[in-house]
Amino acid sequence: MHVTVLGAGIIGISTAWYLRAAGFEVTVVERQSEAALETTFANGGQLSTGHVEPWATPETLPQILEWRQHESSPLLFRLQADPHQWSWGLRFLRECTSRRSTRNFHQLLALGQYSRAAFHALRAELDLAYEGLDRGILNLYDSPASLARGEKAAARVNDLGYERRPISMTDALALEPALAQALPHWYGATYTPGDSSGNACLWTQGLARLCAARGVHFQYKTTVTGFETKAQRIQGLWLQQETTPHLQEVDAVVVALGSESAPLLRPLGLSLPIYPVKGYSITVPLCQPENSLQVSITDDAHKIVFTRLGNHLRVAGTAEFSGYDHSLNRTRLEALVQRARQLFPHLADYSQMTPWTGLRPATPSNCPLIGPTRWENLFLNTGHGTLGWTLGTGSGKVLAELMQGHGPELEFDFTRPA
Domain ranges of the chain: 50-83+132-196+274-362
Q: Which residues have a Cβ under 8 Å from the Cβ of 217 and sit 6 or more positions away? A: 26, 27, 28
Give the integer Cα–Cα distance in Å for 383 and 363. 6
pLDDT given at position 59: 87
pLDDT given at position 269: 98
The residue type of 216 is V
Residues forming a β-bridge with 39: none
* Alpha-carbon radius of gyration of the chain: 21
The mean pLDDT value for 191-195 works out to: 99
Q: Which residues have a Cβ under 8 Å from the Cβ of 279 and sit 6 or more positions away? A: 43, 44, 316, 317, 318, 319, 320, 357, 358, 359, 360, 386
The mean pLDDT value for 26-31 works out to: 99
The confidence band for 261, taking pLDDT boundaries of 50, 70 and 90, is very high
Tell me the CATH architecture of domain 50-83+132-196+274-362. Answer: 2-Layer Sandwich (3.30)
The confidence band for 311, taking pLDDT boundaries of 50, 70 and 90, is very high
Average pLDDT, the chain: 95
The residue type of 193 is P
pLDDT given at position 19: 99
What is the pTM assigned to this prediction?
A: 0.97
- β-strand pairing of 165-167 with 188-192: antiparallel
Asked if pLDDT for residue 418 goes beyond 70, the answer is no
233 class by beta-carbon count within 10 Å (0-12 exposed, 13-18 middle, 19+ buried): middle
In contact, 236 and 43? CB cutoff 8 Å: no
The residue type of 353 is M
Task: Quote the strand ranges of 66-160, DSSP E.
Answer: 75-77, 137-141
Q: Which of 213, 242, 212 is nearest to 225 (CA)?
A: 242
> DSSP for 243-287?
TEEEEEE-SEEEE--GGGHHHHHGGGT-----EEEEEEEEEEEBS
Give the integer Cα–Cα distance in Å for 277 and 306. 20
Give the integer Cα–Cα distance in Å for 172 and 180. 10
Give the integer Cα–Cα distance in Å for 295 and 211. 31
Give the integer Cα–Cα distance in Å for 251 and 233. 9
- β-strand pairing of 275-285 with 312-321: antiparallel
pLDDT given at position 71: 67
Distance of alpha carbon 280 from its chain centroid, rounded?
13
- Residue with the larger pLDDT of the pair 351 and 75: 351
Q: Which residues have a Cβ under 8 Å from the Cβ of 210 and sit 6 or more positions away? A: 17, 126, 128
Q: Which of 19-33, 65-79, 233-247, 383-397 has the lowest mean pLDDT?
A: 65-79
The mean pLDDT value for 317-324 works out to: 92
Asked if pLDDT for residue 73 goes beyond 90, the answer is no
Measuring CA to CA, how many Å separate 206 from each of 66, 202, 311, 389?
42, 6, 19, 14
- Which one-letter DSSP state was computed for residue 137? E
pLDDT given at position 67: 62
